[in-house]
């Protein structure tokens, strides 16, 4: 069933993001700010641009790049306080 696959995919992405956050610290949402003085959201969007350029210039779509893009989009939502999407359901 598609609904089960969506849940499985989201649950797996959650585990990946939790593990990366444990390994790298909260660097996307709380950057050191040594070189980049912009907001966390701006930094995430720069990372998204880099990942999208990699996808554009690649001969094949890679799972790692897609998971990074999804992860950065989730982090952007967290930074913006967008933690509930019920209002978007018609």
Task: Domain count for the chain, please give it.
Answer: 1
* Domain housing 76: 2-88
Greatest Cα-to-Cα distance within the chain, rounded to the nearest angstrom = 47
* 8-65 residue pLDDT tens: 999 999 999 999 999 988 888 888 778 877 889 999 999 999 999 999 999 999 999 9
* 15-25 residue pLDDT tens: 999 999 999 88
In 3D, which of 75, 41, 40, 69 has the Cα closest to residue 56? 69
């Amino acid at each position: 069933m598609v609904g089960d696959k969506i849940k499985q995919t989201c649950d797996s992405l959650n585990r990946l993001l939790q593990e990366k956050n444990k390994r790298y610290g909260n660097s996307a949402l709380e950057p050191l700010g040594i070189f980049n003085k912009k907001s966390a959201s701006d930094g995430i969007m720069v990372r998204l641009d880099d990942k999208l350029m990699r996808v554009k210039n690649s001969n094949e779509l890679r799972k790692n790049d897609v998971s990074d893009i999804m992860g950065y989009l989730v982090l952007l939502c967290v930074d913006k306080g967008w933690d509930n999407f019920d209002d978007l359901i018609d």
